[in-house]
Each structure stands twice: as structure tokens, then as C-alpha cells.
Structure 1
Amino acid sequence: MPKYCGVNHLAMVTGDMDSTIRFWRDLLGLRLVAGLGHPGYRHYFFEISPTDLLAFFEWPEAKPLPMRDHGYPVAGPIGFDHVSIGVETETDLWEVKDLLAAAGYDPSEVIHHGFIKSVYAFDPNGIPIEFSFSVPGADPRHTPAMADSAPSRICLEGPDPQPGHWPKPTPTPPSQRRDYPGEGKDVLEEDRNKWK
């Protein structure tokens, strides 16, 4: 199995990159580390941690999401509920809550979920966001637990990947491995950097 090292980036959508920058960079303190674009298209990346990024596409016709409670079931097409960003300490969680409140973003109270404590809010795009502090000694990654009162048969197979359910892949030989240029190459071109 491949080894994963975090969420490289989660790509969201905004119709207003400037308000998105003001919220994520200037209010919450996430560094804006890369920006790609041309008229009608932008793709900007904010640093959450040394291994995780939050990205936004700016699509001029995009509108903010309608507000709905985090985790509230909806019908119809949907592929996303909310994003939770970890904070290092409980003090950091309270600091985020205070920042959001001072800026008029109406954060929730601190909710204690047993293994995490969380604050909920919405960004300027209506994206449901959560900030979570992992409770020391209660990380389910160390001791997985299933407390669903009616788990499925497949779920009951356990927390670890179960082999034999998918076809075995044929590895691509090194001689056939190639990649193709994408938009991000512009970030590496010194003469394109507007901050220098």
C-alpha cells in the first residue's frame, strides 16, 4: 500500500479571492504560499502546516454556499460537509474562537467531542469550517474504536485495509513513467514572482 503523508491540499472555490485572502491569511494567519492565475482564473494556496495546504480556485461566477449546520443531512448531489483544521493547543482553539468572534464570524461555543474539542464557523464563501484540538491521550488513530450502534458488515472487518477486494495493479515500468507540464510550473519561474 502507498504511504500517505497528510493532505497536500484541499481545493475549495471562491468568487472573491480578496475576501478569501483577508479571512484565511490576515484573520486566521495562514501564509499565502503560492498563487497561479491569469484573467478569469486563479488558484491560490494557504499553508496550514509544514505538510498541509488549503487551496482556492477563484471562479468569477461562483456564489457563497447557503449556510447550513455542520453535519446536518441534506438530500441531492453533495460531496462535502465541512473541513476541520487542527490546532496545536487548547489555547490556540480559544484564540481562533476569539479571532472569529471579533471579526463578526459568529463561531460556535467550544464543543467537547471526547477525542477532540472543536469550534465551528463559516468562511466568507459560506464554507463550513471547524477548528479542532486533539484531546491528549484520546487520539483514535492510536486506539481505533467503532461506536456506531449499527455498523455495516464491511465496517466490522476492522480498521485496517482488507486485501483481496480490488484487482492487483500492474506497476508502470520506470521506462514508461512520464509527467506533463501543469499550471504550477509558473510558481518556480523567478521572473514570474510578483513578490520579488
Structure 2
Amino acid sequence: MADTGFTLSGIHHVAYRCRDAKETVEFYTDVMGMSFDVAFAEDHVPSTGAYDPYMHVFLDAGNGNILAFFELPQQKDMDRDRNTPEWVQHIAFRVPTMDDLLKAKERAVSRGLDVLGPTNHGVFKSIYFFDPNGHRVELACDTGTEEQMTELRRVAPDMLEEWSQTKRAPRHAAWLHEAARDEHD
């Protein structure tokens, strides 16, 4: 890590917009098993003072990881960036085992969700579905070895530099998805 003069100790919370705070809390508690811990509601935004009534809800995703949502009833209907494919922006959660990943898929399917996967990414496997707000949710189970992760960390700076210059996918870690495709075929 770079010397910044201060230390980060993790992400406090990640916040997204939602269409309906109650529906969102019910989804994340029922489908994902999160606990609903805290809610704030104000008429004025504390940081700016602007009038913009909101409900801000906080859900515990485990291990001190907090997922938060804002319902903003006086703003235009929420939408997504149409210039960004819907698969790009997502919320990814870690599950400890493949058994947990498959159980999570069963639960999501039993709730009527269209679930994609498991998809093999070489060093983790994932499932994907959308929450009631249109946010893509990923659940991932790490499957990679320490040797694989060491190699990926080693080539990351070179890959970034090559990408920056060419805007073409570098081949330094092509083995990762090639092996995953071979396993699938």
C-alpha cells in the first residue's frame, strides 16, 4: 500500500439507491439472510443541507460489512447508466464454500429469481441475479490456490500497463479462464 499518512481499516459501508426501502430490506433479509440494523430518515441532507427527504437503511452483510440504501421519494425515478452494460456494476458477496453457493442459488431460485451460474472464473465461482431495484448481485466462492493468486498479483501491474497503452486484453492471465472453459467443456 502507498504511504498516505493515514490508515484505512476497511469499508464502513457501500450505499446504493433503492426504489422502496421496505421492499429492499425484505429482499436482503429474506434472500440473502442479512440483518436489518439501522435506519436514518431526514428531510435535509446532513452533508449539504439540501432539502431532499430520504430513508437510509443499513443491512449487515457479515464481518462488519454494511450495505446501505437510500430511498429518495421526491427525486426522479431511479435509472441506470444506459452506456454501461448491466453486468458491469454489481454488488459481490463472498460465501465460504461451494455448498453455500449452491444453497444460495437454490434459495434465490425458490424466491422466483432468475439465477445465472455458477460461473467459473478460475480462482472463484459465482452466481448472479438482480435485486428488486435492478442492482446486479453476485455471490462468489473462492476456489483458487495461493500459487494462482500469487501469480495473478505478480502480473497485475504489467497487465494494467499493457492495457493502458493498447486497450486490448493482455494475455498474462489467460490461463485462468482457459482452464475454467476447459473444465466446463
Please report the TM-score for the alignment, with normalisation by the length of structure 1: 0.64
Match of 1:88? 96
Per the TM alignment, residue 82 of structure 1 is displaced from its structure 2 partner at its CA by: 1.2
Q: Which of 36-45 and 24-33 deviates more?
A: 36-45
- Please give the alpha-carbon distance, in whole angstroms, between the structure 2 residues aligned to 1:34 and 1:100: 25
1:144 to 141, 153, 173: 153
Match of 1:78? none
What pairs with 1:118-133 in structure 2 (closer than 5 Å)? 118-133=126-141
**Amino acid paired to 1:151:** W
C-alpha RMSD of the superposition = 2.6
- For structure 1, the residue ranges without an aligned partner over 5 or more in a row are 72-80, 154-196
Match of 2:9? 5
8 Å Cα contact 2:114-2:129 kept in structure 1: yes
**Amino acid paired to 2:106:** D
- For structure 2, the residue ranges without an aligned partner over 5 or more in a row are 44-52, 166-185
- Please give the alpha-carbon distance, in whole angstroms, between the structure 1 residues aligned to 2:8 and 2:151: 16
Change (3 A) 1:20 1:64: farther
1:48-71 deviations in Å (ceiling 9; x for gaps) = 122210000111243364895413
**Amino acid paired to 1:48:** A
Match of 1:105? 113
Report the identity percentage.
Answer: 26
Per the TM alignment, residue 89 of structure 1 is displaced from its structure 2 partner at its CA by: 1.4
2:123 to 93, 112, 115: 115
Match of 2:48? none
2:36 to 32, 37, 52: 32
Per the TM alignment, residue 97 of structure 1 is displaced from its structure 2 partner at its CA by: 0.9
- Please give the alpha-carbon distance, in whole angstroms, between the structure 2 residues aligned to 1:53 and 1:128: 17
8 Å Cα contact 2:17-2:78 kept in structure 1: no
**2:31 is equivalent to residue 22 of structure 1:** no
8 Å Cα contact 1:82-1:129 kept in structure 2: yes
- Please give the alpha-carbon distance, in whole angstroms, between the structure 2 residues aligned to 1:90 and 1:33: 28
- Please give the alpha-carbon distance, in whole angstroms, between the structure 2 residues aligned to 1:23 and 1:152: 39
